[in-house]
């Protein structure tokens, strides 16, 4: 047991899918997994373990933002010895070539959070995806005929900070989209010698103001899950 996860030893798989929304964790477990148990209800941050094609896999809600995901990822790595952590989430495009409903494999996750500055004495650490996971997600997407973008994203601390002067420098340097968690996942995986990857569906565009309907989100969500479940 850890402070925020009340699973027993061995109840959590080495591979964990990480949606932000705990109800998404429930939906993923009920839709894709067999022989499911719910191992966590602390603070309503639901966590489940089941099997997919015979392989043990867990799905754990993380909440929104770097402080929240850091708590769950740290406990999964430190107390439950998890080895492959895959964020399945959404993001907002800040790049013309990235349209709503597209899928991004985040090879890197820049951040405006100060957490890494504290760890690295104000120097900049580059939080990156695990290459093996990234490469295998890319190959799976190609095999399934799912088009993906691969590149840098920004894990921002502020959802509602949408002024142009905020996102423009990131766009100018080729960053694809904004979300709020991946850089913490990558940094913690680096520290614990684990593999991390963020797979993201594009739910909105900061550039055009466009956003997806819930039916459209469902379809891209399914494509994202098809990639994530093969890893």
| Residue stretches of the annotated binding site for a purine D-ribonucleoside | 4, 179-181, 203-204
DSSP 3-42: SS--PPTT-S-SEEEE-SSHHHHHHHHHHH-EEEEEEE-G
Distance, CA of 7 to CA of 90 (rounded, Å): 27
Q: Interface with ligand ADE by CB under 6 A: which residues?
A: 90-92, 156, 159, 178-180, 203-204, 206
> Which residues are documented as binding site?
4, 20, 24, 43, 87-90, 179-181, 203-204
CB neighbour burial string for 126-136, b if at least 16 within 10 angstroms, e if fewer? ebbbbeebbee
Nearest residue to ligand ADE, by Cβ distance, number only: 92
Residue 162, number of CB atoms within 10 A of its CB: 14
- Give phi and psi for 165, each to the nearest 5: -65, -20
To the query of whether residue 204 is one of the catalytic residues in this protein, the response is: yes
Which is nearer to ligand ADE, 15 or 113 (by Cβ)?
113
By beta-carbon proximity to ligand ADE, the closer residue of 116 and 156 is: 156
Q: Residue 91 or 175: which CB sits closer to ligand ADE?
A: 91
Token code pair at residue 99: 């349209």
The continuous run of DSSP H or E covering 155 comes out as strand 148-155
The first and second tokens of residue 221, run together, are: 């969500």
Q: How far apart are CA 6 and CA 74, in angstroms?
A: 14
Please report, in range form, the residues annotated as the binding site for phosphate: 20, 24, 43, 87-90
Smallest distance from ligand ADE to CB 12, Å: 26
Question: Between 94 and 194, whose beta carbon lies closer to ligand ADE?
Answer: 94
Beta-bridge partner residues of 199: 88, 105
Phi-psi region of 174 (alpha: psi -120 to 50; beta: other; left: phi over 0): left
* Minimum separation from the CB atom of position 64 to ligand ADE (A): 8
Closest separation in Å from C-beta 177 to ligand ADE: 8
Phi and psi torsions of 155, nearest 5°: -90, 105
Q: How far is the CB of 203 from ligand ADE (least distance, A)?
A: 5
Residue 179 Cβ vs ligand ADE, minimum distance, rounded to whole Å: 5
Please say which residue, 33 or 177, places its beta carbon nearer to ligand ADE: 177
Catalytic amino acids?
204
């Amino acid at each position: 047991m850890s402070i925020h996860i009340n699973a027993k030893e061995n109840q959590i798989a080495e591979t964990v899918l990480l949606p932000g929304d705990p109800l998404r964790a429930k939906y993923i477990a009920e839709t894709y997994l067999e022989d499911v148990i719910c191992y966590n209800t602390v603070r309503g941050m639901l966590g489940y373990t089941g099997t997919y094609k015979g392989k043990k896999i867990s799905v754990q809600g993380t909440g929104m933002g770097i402080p929240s995901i850091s708590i769950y990822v740290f406990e999964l790595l430190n107390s439950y010895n998890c080895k492959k952590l895959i964020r399945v989430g959404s993001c907002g495009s800040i790049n013309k070539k990235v349209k709503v409903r597209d899928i991004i494999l985040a090879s890197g996750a820049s951040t405006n959070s100060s957490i890494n500055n504290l760890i690295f004495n104000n120097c900049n650490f580059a939080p990156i995806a695990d290459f093996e996971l990234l490469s295998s997600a890319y190959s799976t997407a190609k095999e399934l005929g799912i088009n993906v973008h691969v590149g840098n994203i920004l894990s921002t601390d502020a959802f509602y900070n949408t002024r142009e002067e905020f996102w423009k420098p990131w766009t100018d340097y080729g960053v694809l989209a904004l979300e709020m968690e991946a850089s913490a996942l990558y940094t913690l995986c680096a520290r614990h010698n684990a593999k991390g990857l963020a797979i993201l569906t594009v739910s909105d565009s900061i550039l055009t103001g466009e956003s997806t309907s819930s039916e459209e989100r469902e379809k891209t969500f399914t494509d994202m899950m098809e990639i994530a479940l093969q890893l």
